[in-house]
Structure 1
């Protein structure tokens, strides 16, 4: 609405004040519309809180109802300093022993020494061949094409190391300063006897870099500091080996992480992962209680202060609350209650957990799973489906929110129309009172003239 500006010429009538006071009365319908809009916006925000809490409840219920959640397995080791591990749902409950006799190793080689920072002095080619060595290192079986590294006479060991690392040859190189000069250390990227390597050179001047059957036999060139080796272990006395210390292909569903060797076996057991189920039950209860508290707070009426929360008496919010409590408190087809598991519905609508009952129920996972997630009749699956539907495109929360948004849009249109009418009304009042002011000014001037004329006749 435009601001009032009138000088009040003529009689001196205070047009601004008069019109301002009149417009306060005229603006009352607009004030009511604005107050109503604020209330609608608060309700929209309130349903946003409910929608968010309901979405979290859906996620928690969905996670607990997921079949994979009930197939979890735990690997327990009697000595994790020797062996650790993990299990998937493919693993079956079992007990066995593992003795680690040798850990998998990567081959490592150290070149001959070169004066610190000096160049290699000879040009040629360094060929890297992947494969495996015989037990006495007298022969090498290659496993594919070699990778050739061009060596320049001016190259230092650091330069050669950089070329090897860029060649993606399955080995890494680094230069260390030893007591007799710089040495090139090379190591396989992978452990296991099949991941060894041989180094051959095209010129005798590069012999410090060589490690192949010829140089080994001549005791000339690089020195092997660690042999490529498989991990060796037994499972219940049955010998097995692995190229890696992370063993994934020996027992279905199990990953065994070999940490160190041991003269005695380590006991291993595979059990159901009841801890993970309990954690998901706790998450479900927390999510349910969040929805319950949000709806309860938004629909509360405080008798002491005679104040109502935004959704007090809102049929949609109340129906949501009642439906959730009905699902939780109604027995299933077999007459079992959720409270039998230790999930007790409280007076305020929240769920409490009885740890003793929960732990007892976890000892029989198939029975617990059926009670919570059986088809569409399990308590958790019912909550999951209810939350999904309520937040869905045609759900009660979405429909109520859409109705509130439509009401707010209509209210804003009414405000725009009312503001236009009030602006026109203000202009009309200004015009009327400015005219009245002018008329009163003219009458005042006429009265003054008559008074002066009458006085002149008397004199």
Structure 2
């Protein structure tokens, strides 16, 4: 509750300023709590940042533990018009692909040229029959070539066709209609819906066809498009539109040590970045002390991560190009790693991913111990830091109440003092006046 004060009314002193100075002394304890709170929030922020990076490291290591990370395959084709790509499910090997035919769409090129806006050149209702046995579609037109093109291309009609009016002379156009997709199943016809007669003098037909290739000497594969997905497990072959019939391509699938090396290097780089952050946060130098200086838990996280490079069975990963330098950071000799991987990829994969002893497996285990959502070292520290901040919030709020009560008490005391002094001054003035009057009368 606020209490009114009369500053200096009787004493002539700036009692408001005096009260403020008293309050600054009284607030010293609360200010120390605020300082501790600021420090604790910095600690919390640093812990959360480290925890996020450790969790990301665990995820990266987990991805590298998957077989696909060590099964990267590079696919090459001896013919530019026979493209080939491979996923991680592909296995090393080779095979030949002979192009028997490329895929084509079904196309009609109508014979009679007409104006696009001339009425009566096409029926007002055109029947579309797809030769896959689906229900015929009746297309309404305005009797012009332009109206028929618009009806065929209208998405609402879902014809699956593309129509074009090709100019062949002054205001003379021929109709070309083509299936939107390639393959033999895209065949169709367009006729007058009233009598079944041909449109615009009939059409030259290019039949739709599937693409066909021969693998080796006798294995034939077909596709409605020029792309053969999973022609062999994990391998997709795509024929260029201009691929010549009879073209034979030799496809080679070889392990890609560069992709695996890149993945391992990514893990090493992520670890080094995390170790550098920990070193910065835990630095104990008097000139540049880290926010987490002296935090044994964070230092233990660093030690366990760095220890993952040692298999624990008395061996070393130096022959794989993985080791530590004198600054406590990881070093990856990419050339040495590629050489070892080329020599025996299965053995390298086992040494990196084996449970308990594999480098990647040990990194993931150490990162999981630190960042586990419930029991992680850093998670526990974050929980403790949050609790400390909450307690400080409560203590600071308690001090707000104490200081308010203290200010009220001081204000009352000084107000009472000023009131008493004012009364004394008034009495003194009255007495002085009475004495003065007695002297004059006598």
> Scaled by the length of structure 1, what TM-score is found?
0.85
Correspondence list, 1:369-388, <5 A? 369-388=349-368
The 3 A distance-change label for structure 1 pair 18 and 58 is same
Report the more deviating stretch, 407-416 or 314-323.
314-323
- Give the aligned partner of residue 252 of structure 2: 269
2:209 alignment counterpart = 229
User: Which deviates more from structure 2 when the two are superposed, residues 341-350 or residues 399-408?
Assistant: 341-350
Aligned residue in 2 for 1:436: 417
Q: Any unmatched runs of 5+ in structure 1?
A: 132-142, 210-219
Asked whether 1:172 is paired with 2:162, we answer: yes
Q: Distance in 2 between matches of 1:313 and 1:448?
A: 70
1:13 aligns with 2:2: no
Q: Which residue of 2 aligns with 1:184?
A: 175
Q: 1:323 to 1:5 in 2, by over 3 A?
A: farther
Summarize the Cα distance change of 1:423–1:377 in structure 2 as closer, same or farther, 3 Å threshold: same
Q: CA deviation at 1:187?
A: 1.0
Q: Are the aligned partners of 2:128 and 2:139 in contact in 1 as well (CA < 8 Å)? A: no
CA distance in 2, matches of 1:187, 1:336: 67
Number of residue pairs aligned between Structure 1 and Structure 2 = 431
Say yes or no: does 1:323 pair with 2:304: yes
Alignment match, 1:367: 347
* Residues 403, 358 of structure 1: alpha-carbon distance in 2 compared, 3 angstrom cutoff: same
Q: Distance in 2 between matches of 1:228 and 1:340?
A: 58
| Residue 343 (structure 1) aligned with residue 322 (structure 2) | yes
Aligned pair partner of 2:266 in 283, 308, 320: 283
Q: How does 1:98-137 map to 2 (within 5 A)?
A: 98-111=97-110, 112-121=112-121, 123=123, 125-131=125-131
Contact kept? 1:124, 1:203, Cα under 8 Å: no
Q: CA 1:90 to 1:264, structure 2 compared with 1: closer, same or farther past 3 Å?
A: same
CA apart distance, 1:49: 0.8
Distance 1:59 1:354 in 2: 23
* Equivalent of residue 227 in structure 2, options 215, 237, 246: 246
Does the 8 A contact of 1:299 with 1:313 survive in 2?
yes
Q: Identify the match of residue 389 of structure 1 among 369, 372, 382.
A: 369
Q: What displacement does 1:237 show? A: 4.0
Q: 1:454 to 1:355 in 2, by over 3 A?
A: same
Please give the alpha-carbon distance, in whole angstroms, between the structure 2 residues aligned to 1:116 and 1:340.
76
> Counterpart of 1:26?
26
CA contact (8 A) 1:301 1:309 kept: yes
Partner of 1:302, secondary structure, is coil
> Which stretch of structure 1 is more off in the superposition, 155-164 or 417-426?
155-164
SS of the counterpart of 1:208?
coil
Give the direction of change, closer, same or farther, for the CA distance of 1:95–1:291 in structure 2 (3 Å limit).
Answer: same
Tell me which residue corresponds to 2:86: 87
Task: Measure the CA separation in 1 of the matches of 2:414 and 2:233.
Answer: 95
Whether contact under 8 Å (2:5, 2:414) holds in the other structure is no
2:106–2:186 Cα contact (<8 Å) kept: yes
State how far apart, in whole Å, the 2-side matches of 1:4 and 1:254 are: 87
Q: Could you tell me how far 1:97 is from its partner in structure 2?
A: 3.0
Task: Please state if 1:200 is matched with 2:191.
Answer: yes
Aligned partner of residue 69 in structure 1, secondary structure: helix
